[in-house]
Amino acid sequence: MLALLLHITSCFSVPLGEFYPYGVDQGDSVVPRDDDNSSGEIRISVLFPYFDRNHDSLYVNTNGVVSFLVQVGQYTPDPFPLADGRRLVSPFWGDVDTRNGGVVSYRESTDTALLQRATADVRRAFLDHEKFTATWIFIATWDSVAFFGASEAAKSKVNTFQAVLVTNGRHSFAIFNYNLIMWTTGTASGGDEDGLGGTPAQGGFNAGDGVRFFVIPGSRTNDILKLSSTSNVARPGQWMFRTDEASVEAGGCNSKGSLTISPRSGIMLGGTNVKMSGPCFKADDNIVVQFDNNININATFGSELQSSVTVPLLNKTGRLPIKLSIDGGNTFEYNGVYTSVRINQYTPGVQRTDGDLWQENSPVDINWDSGSIGGVDDQVSIDLARYKMGEDEVPVLDSFHTAVESQSNTGHSQIVITKGQGDGSIEDRFINLVRVSRKGGGSNVSQSKWVWSDLFAWKNEAWASERCKRWHLREPNPEEFRGNCIYSEFYYLS
């Protein structure tokens, strides 16, 4: 696996106040001051998934590595992948020597506030893990650590960084925070007395099988100094990764052209509010989304990592291409798939009270979850969508009838449909759905811009009777059938 090119944002580092709390006063244990030291095996209270395997212990190593199975004393980083069984999480694998200054500390935690923070960090960086809830974290911090061979003057050149492992027991993530990176190399790795040159430090992940790995851009070059001012999640100095699967997945922005969407499917009638991640967004980007190669819709900026769009009326089912542009639709460089679902496979967002008894010219009641399309201060409109059955038994939109032009988003309404506006004509009858729509622009909070009821037809006993009469008038004379039967019987007997 090659090192992936990530979208990098330059600015400043993660302030120490935004590190996960660390230190002896927070309950941390400390790796004894020494060169090339380790914590020894640390039994952890959960199974931590890493590269498709669960681990119940780990090691915190002085030289900027959290490892599984074995401790790591090696000070010069070999290039990933390594095939010697070492399974490594490496925020900064370099020659740290805490005899020259600094502290390496660690602890596991199930503190509620920290779990909530880790949950929010993961959800922000990984759009397809919006339901993730952290149940355990492990915090390892290298605070103001010096390098091996530092001169007295160079001992003030220190690095401060942190690795936070996060899991819910099934999925796992790594958060790297960098505050200050002033040196890259110890003198035993070919560096000079200022901690530069030689074989610089390496950041990334190694499965230990010689095949699977991930390298943070700049590793084993002087560009590793930029870790504190760059990011893959639009927070300078912070990098995030998913680590439980066969390969490591970088969080946040990417330049690979892949588009992540949530939710990945919705009713063919549109209205679903879809969040998207791919490029790093800017507030002044002209974001356009294209559905099924021909329907272009303006999208809304949400944050540096996310934008959103309301799915239009598609009238088509199945897996449809979805593309994203940040230059007004001139180029669509990010691609994904959205699944358009048939009406009869959709859970209605609008409930019809006593729906089997609905009649035109009579008050009927509907209810919906107001939070699904906005807030209580929003206004909504209520329409009757009139459909006819098309080919392959797929309903085709004929027209809309407005039942309520505007009302508060209370989650309830009573409407009256004038006779003929719902049923249509006896020769060409409609099937109907009720649509409740939020008035105004898009929302990054609500699930949808509009929601639908189930398909239904109005109760109309007079029409039912008339249809019976019409069928009866067109019914063939039974004597004709009888005559044919007699003739056939005579023909076969003869």
487 occurs within a structural domain: yes
Which one is predicted more confidently, 184 or 253?
A: 184
Same domain, 89 and 234: yes
Same domain, 202 and 313: no
Q: What CA–CA distance (Å, rounded) separates 54 from 244?
A: 9
From 106, 102, 103, select the one nearest 89 (Cα to Cα). Answer: 106
Q: What CA–CA distance (Å, rounded) separates 81 from 438?
A: 52
Tell me the pLDDT tens digit for each residue of 450-484: 999 998 888 765 555 555 555 445 555 545 444 44
Same domain, 471 and 446: no
pLDDT computed for residue 230 by the predictor: 94
pLDDT computed for residue 474 by the predictor: 53
Tell me the pLDDT tens digit for each residue of 299-315: 999 999 999 999 998 87
Length of the chain: 494
Supply the Cα-derived Rg of the chain in whole angstroms. 32
> pLDDT grade, residue 398 (50/70/90)?
confident
> pLDDT grade, residue 388 (50/70/90)?
confident
**Phi-psi category of 51—alpha, beta or left, where left has phi over 0 and alpha has psi -120 to 50?**
left
Helix (H) or strand (E) holding 481: helix 478-493
5 occurs within a structural domain: no
Same domain, 80 and 41: yes
Helix (H) or strand (E) holding 291: strand 288-291
4 occurs within a structural domain: no
Same domain, 339 and 475: no
Tell me the pLDDT tens digit for each residue of 231-245: 999 999 999 999 999
Q: How many domains does the structure of the chain reveal?
A: 4
Same domain, 328 and 201: no
Q: What CA–CA distance (Å, rounded) separates 266 from 343?
A: 10
Same domain, 41 and 155: yes
Q: What CA–CA distance (Å, rounded) separates 73 from 274?
A: 47
From 348, 333, 309, select the one nearest 435 (Cα to Cα). Answer: 348
Cα dihedral 482→487→492→494 (10° resolution): 140
The CATH number of whichever domain residue 405 belongs to comes to: 2.60.40
Same domain, 71 and 134: yes
From 260, 261, 267, 324, select the one nearest 291 (Cα to Cα). Answer: 324
Model-wide pTM > 0.85: no
Q: Note down the domain range covering 382.
A: 349-459
Tell me the pLDDT tens digit for each residue of 253-294: 887 888 999 999 998 889 999 999 999 999 999 999 999 999
From 420, 424, 384, select the one nearest 404 (Cα to Cα). Answer: 384
Same domain, 264 and 136: no
